[in-house]
């Protein structure tokens, strides 16, 4: 009888949803957003919605898509898989698979989400079978997009970020050995595997007994493995090795707090999980971090999908708009700088989805606009697939947005270092190699550690140079001629490990010339 009642309940809910969706405005375009809106991870869902809403507000104020307003439908997956929900849970429908099924009978043309890898993996099969395009900004497990032509992501995947992190630890930071502490789920296992494989190829030593994996489904697994690692690290020279931390934010904070109790400061390098808004928000609950920002985190290297200080003009505009709209909510983060990684990524995901919908609805010669929801969703997916080259990329807040054959974004993987409680750009970065050099030059650059191989692609080493202008005086302002006289200094700041070597002999100002002789000016350092 319980099974019959359960089936009747599910059918009734389905009928209610179908009837309800008939009353949606046909002149409105709908996008679904799926993420953890309640529970322990509700903050992540909140920042997802902020990014989505900020872009939709911009689009709708500009007239929408061909005069149609774009609205979001929000769905709470609780940040969990349905196959892991306890039998007596009071909200069993707040899980990924059930949410995906609800979205399938909604009028949504595309889905933004899910936040983390486990719910995304469970929902992926539903979207694939129902034919719904979905874009995630934060779920990084490789398997999400693998063999699934309906799933896309605007961030990097785990195997790529772990490979870059291993190269960075060994070839830039100079560590000879590494230790790994990881979550034994799809996220942590994928990171551990890619990091270990890369390490073995480049000569970064990792002994099997220096890998500690914990299972959140088992009691005391985390605590036992953490204690084992702490005991092992007490007897090792911290100058030789660096810890690769491949966990989610909550567990990462627990690990970091325990490691900071050691008599020395163990070097740590980690993933995008430690650059998220949620990580910093949770960390700031601790008195030491509140009183001294960076007490636990300063010196930790992290991969981040978005670092504001090396982002472009659109990113700066986004930051100002985001701060203006959401800084009303006062918390500790506003005192140390708003973390905009998650909202920036979901702003970009919404931008890509809207662009694909716009292309689907655009009148094209010899092509009719689909009228059925199923066909429209397929066309949106096809337009996402066409974003396959840099030339036709969508220019987003976090960079140029286009996809490889798996639906994964092709973009750089910035490395930040925590300073006073927030990640800032590290002095050296790896960027995608846009043009392959000749074979001899390629080999020479690889041997000199200037070019690295990250799975099926190459990346090149780049040095970060900070620049700015200090004005002394502005005079002779002529509004009619739009001219003025300025006295100013242009300054450049960069890391120079070997002070006997001059990295920059001069800097070319390629768009500045003297009207008298049309001569390009050079700044000699």
Lookup: tokens for 33? 């957003």
pLDDT range class, residue 331, cuts 50, 70, 90? very low
Cis peptide before 114 (omega within 30 of 0): yes
**Which residue reads 């790896």 in tokens?**
430
Q: What is the average pLDDT across 433-448?
A: 76
Q: Where are the beta strands (DSSP E) in 199-313?
A: 211-214, 241-246, 268-270, 301-303
**Alpha-carbon span 165 to 206, nearest angstrom:** 14
Architecture of the CATH domain 2-157+316-401 = 3-Layer(aba) Sandwich (3.40)
Q: Give residue-wise pLDDT tens across range 100-145.
A: 999 999 999 999 999 999 999 999 999 999 999 999 999 999 999 9
**Do 158-309 and 2-157+316-401 fall under one CATH topology?**
yes
How far from 59 is each of 55, 234, 236, CA to CA, in Å? 6, 55, 55
Q: Give residue-wise pLDDT tens across range 2-47.
A: 444 444 444 444 444 444 444 456 789 999 999 999 988 898 999 9
**How many residues are recorded in the chain?**
525
Collapsing DSSP to helix, strand or coil, 135 comes out as: strand
- Is residue 397 within 8 A of residue 315, CB to CB? The reply is yes
**Alpha-carbon span 272 to 249, nearest angstrom:** 9
Q: Where are the beta strands (DSSP E) in 93-143?
A: 110-113, 134-136
CATH topology of domain 158-309: Rossmann fold (3.40.50)
- The per-residue pLDDT for 15 is 46
**Alpha-carbon span 310 to 425, nearest angstrom:** 7
Q: What is the Cα 183 distance to its own chain's centre?
A: 19
Q: Where are the domains of the chain?
A: 2-157+316-401, 158-309, 465-524
- Is residue 113 within 8 A of residue 39, CB to CB? The reply is no
- The per-residue pLDDT for 333 is 41
- The per-residue pLDDT for 281 is 82
- The per-residue pLDDT for 516 is 56
Q: Give residue-wise pLDDT tens across range 208-223.
A: 889 999 998 888 999 9
- Is residue 280 within 8 A of residue 268, CB to CB? The reply is no
User: DSSP class of residue 469?
Assistant: E
Of all residues in the chain, the percent with pLDDT exceeding 90 is 59
- The per-residue pLDDT for 506 is 61
Q: Give residue-wise pLDDT tens across range 364-407.
A: 766 677 889 999 999 999 999 999 988 899 999 999 999 999 99
pLDDT above 60 (res 59) = yes
């Amino acid at each position: 009888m319980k099974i019959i009642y359960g089936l009747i309940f599910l059918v009734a809910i389905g009928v209610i949803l179908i009837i309800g969706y008939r009353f949606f405005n046909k002149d409105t375009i709908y996008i679904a957003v799926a993420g953890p809106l309640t529970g322990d991870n509700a903050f992540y869902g909140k920042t997802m919605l902020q990014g989505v809403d900020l872009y939709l507000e911009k689009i709708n104020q500009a007239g929408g898509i061909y005069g149609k307003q774009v609205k979001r439908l929000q769905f709470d997956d609780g940040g969990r898989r349905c196959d892991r929900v306890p039998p007596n849970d009071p909200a069993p429908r707040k899980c990924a698979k059930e949410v995906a099924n609800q979205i399938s009978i909604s009028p949504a043309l595309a889905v933004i989400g899910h936040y983390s890898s486990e719910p995304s993996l469970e929902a992926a099969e539903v979207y694939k079978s129902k034919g719904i395009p979905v874009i995630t900004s934060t779920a990084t497990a490789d398997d999400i997009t693998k063999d699934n032509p309906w799933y896309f992501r605007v961030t990097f995947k785990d195997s790529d970020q772990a490979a870059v992190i291993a190269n960075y630890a060994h070839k830039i930071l100079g560590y000879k050995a590494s230790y790994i502490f990881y979550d034994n789920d799809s996220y942590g296992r994928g990171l551990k595997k890619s990091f270990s494989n890369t390490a073995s190829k480049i000569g970064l030593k990792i002994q099997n007994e220096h890998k500690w994996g914990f299972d959140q489904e088992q009691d005391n697994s985390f605590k036992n493995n953490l204690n084992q690692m702490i005991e092992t690290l007490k007897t090792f020279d911290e100058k030789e090795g660096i810890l690769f931390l491949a966990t989610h934010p909550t567990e990462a904070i627990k690990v970091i707090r325990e490691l900071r109790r050691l008599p020395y400061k163990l070097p740590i390098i980690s993933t995008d999980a430690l650059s998220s808004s949620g990580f910093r928000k949770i960390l700031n609950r601790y008195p030491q971090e509140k009183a001294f920002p960076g007490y636990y985190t300063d010196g930790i290297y992290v991969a981040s999908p978005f670092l504001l200080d090396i982002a472009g003009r659109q990113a700066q505009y986004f930051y100002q708009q985001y701060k203006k709209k959401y800084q009303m909510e006062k918390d500790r983060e506003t005192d140390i700088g708003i973390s905009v990684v998650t909202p920036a990524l979901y702003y970009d995901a919404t931008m890509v989805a809207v662009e694909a919908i716009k292309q689907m609805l655009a009148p094209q010669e010899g092509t009719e606009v689909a009228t059925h929801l199923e066909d429209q969703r397929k066309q949106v997916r096809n337009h996402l697939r066409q974003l396959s080259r840099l030339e036709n990329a969508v220019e987003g807040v976090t960079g140029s947005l286009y996809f490889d054959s798996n639906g994964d974004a092709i973009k750089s993987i910035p490395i930040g270092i925590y300073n006073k409680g927030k990640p800032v750009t590290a002095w050296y970065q790896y960027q995608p190699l846009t043009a392959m050099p000749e074979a001899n030059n390629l080999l020479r650059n690889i041997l000199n550690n200037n070019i690295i191989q990250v799975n099926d692609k190459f990346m090149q080493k780049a040095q970060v140079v900070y620049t700015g202008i200090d004005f002394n005086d502005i005079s002779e302002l002529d509004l009619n001629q739009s001219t003025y006289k300025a006295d100013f200094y242009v300054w450049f700041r960069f890391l120079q490990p070997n002070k006997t070597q001059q990295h920059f002999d001069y800097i070319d100002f390629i768009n500045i010339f003297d009207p008298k002789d049309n001569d390009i000016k050079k700044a000699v350092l």
